[in-house]
Structure 1
Amino acid sequence: MNSSHDGNGGNGGNGGNGTTEERPRVRGRRPAHGEPLLDRAFRVLACFGPEAPELSLTALAARAGLPKATALRIARQLTEQGALERTDAGHYTIGLRLLEIASVAPRGHGLRTIALPYLQDLWHATGRHVQLVVREGLECVLVERLSARDAPRVMYRVGGRMPLHATAPGLVLLAFAPARVQEDFLAADRPAGGDEPIGTAETEALRSRLAAIRRDRYAVFSRPQWDTLITGVAAPVLDRNHSTIAAVSVITPSEQSQPAAHVPAVVAVARVITRAMATGNRRPLPS
């Protein structure tokens, strides 16, 4: 795959009004001028999700905001590289090559490989949802979740993005993020993943909450989810440089237990994973 431009030439632009858009515009049936092929390829890949694991070429082009011919050319190249696969019906799905590449991501499957045995211990001890979450910019990403059979339904899927300020692991990751990240987040009119803007009073309350999390080294956060109030308990995981790279959390229905009772177990497991990350020791999974 090269980074050429489909012959459009010209300069990238926003219509000369000085504004930016979340997704480059399609003028007529041609891609936005100057948009690199790699950017368009990622737009194609980002079209897939739990609600759309398989897409026809027409649907793929529409979701990506690309002319059908351009979408076809990119889809063919991605298929040749194994990033996409074709179904018997001729539709496209995400290919296993992406999983193979992602498996070596140190903050994804690499972290997961070391943490998983300890997450299983926490899962057996609590009988609740256990999550492993990392920060990505001003959001966080769920990289692993273990779920009990009778645990309540939760919103976020593995690989899905979560708000920093409205989840227990997100608050931990925000509290221990670099100061510039915290200021960027607090300065945002509407934080990523949030439903409402954060006003001055809410900002000051959030600053106080983050300070308390840094002091206590864990977070407890409750929020309504569908018809249930759920509470998350989370603690930070550090790397060998003592930087926070992840958060471990337990999610429980608030009315069924005392969520704070899970704090010692969550903190202990986070510390064990921190030690394992520092030494690179990987405890074998039970057979």
Structure 2
Amino acid sequence: MTLVTAIVVAFDSAEALPECLGALKAEGLPVIVVDNASTDDTVVVAERCGAQMIRNAKNEGYGRANNLGARAAASEFVLVVNPDCIVGQGSVAALLDAARRYPDAGLFAPRIVEPDGRVFYQPRSLLSSYLPNPDGKLVLPEGEACAPFFSGACFLVRRDLFLRLGGFDENIFLFYEDDDLCRRVADAGAALVYVPQAVVRHARGKSTGAKPGRVFKSRWHQAWSRAYVSRKYNLPNPAPVMFAINALKTLGVSLTLQRGLIERYGGSAAGAYASLSGRTALEEEGLS
């Protein structure tokens, strides 16, 4: 059995893929690229780089597409990697070494470095049942450490555990699927381990090319998913407040004719309203 398979979910990611897939190839990993109906040269680029392809007729969303890749893999572990992540030399070996040393752990997260050199580390999560960190104070661990949540941009997970838990929640199209998965891994009694000697560079926001309307859609799903996971774990519903605040902001910025701000606040208001109205993310994307 193959030890690790990398899963890369792509959507109009032709620009980011060559460096991402090149780094994975240098690590000796087989790669499955799940293409979410890209309109650019994503498929051509991925095939040229030697990746196995799964081509979706429609954009299935981040979590659903990763689940397809994980089910298609034949390996003990899967490495979930965003197209705008570049896995550093020796990082996969470091993650696997941690998995060997911590057999009771299920998910292993590398040190993610942003373009400005800042280390991304999630100081708190909406879904944290312990270590809530209400002030959001960020303190980076000095070495390997357990934590309740890690970024979904790149992580190693035991494939059998991932599939046993149902993978990512397929009701979520985008956003908070990583928080939800980490919560379920922890609730299943498996530790989540930070492995800082494994380094991944993250060119944040470069996974998908910019197009009109994408900011609106992104903010729609961010608001809807926040409300969804809050209800899922019996937390206070944030949708009423999100709708009110962002509807007012949309009215305010509409006078400025700044498209980006109108999409940002309008998308958040629309996503919150959809949640209040009982509309699902899958219905919004024509997937229901």
TM over 0.5: no
| Larger-Rg structure | 1
Query: Of the two structures, which has the highest relative contact order with CA contacts closer than 8 Å and spacing of 6 or more?
Result: 2
TM-score relative to the length of structure 2: 0.25
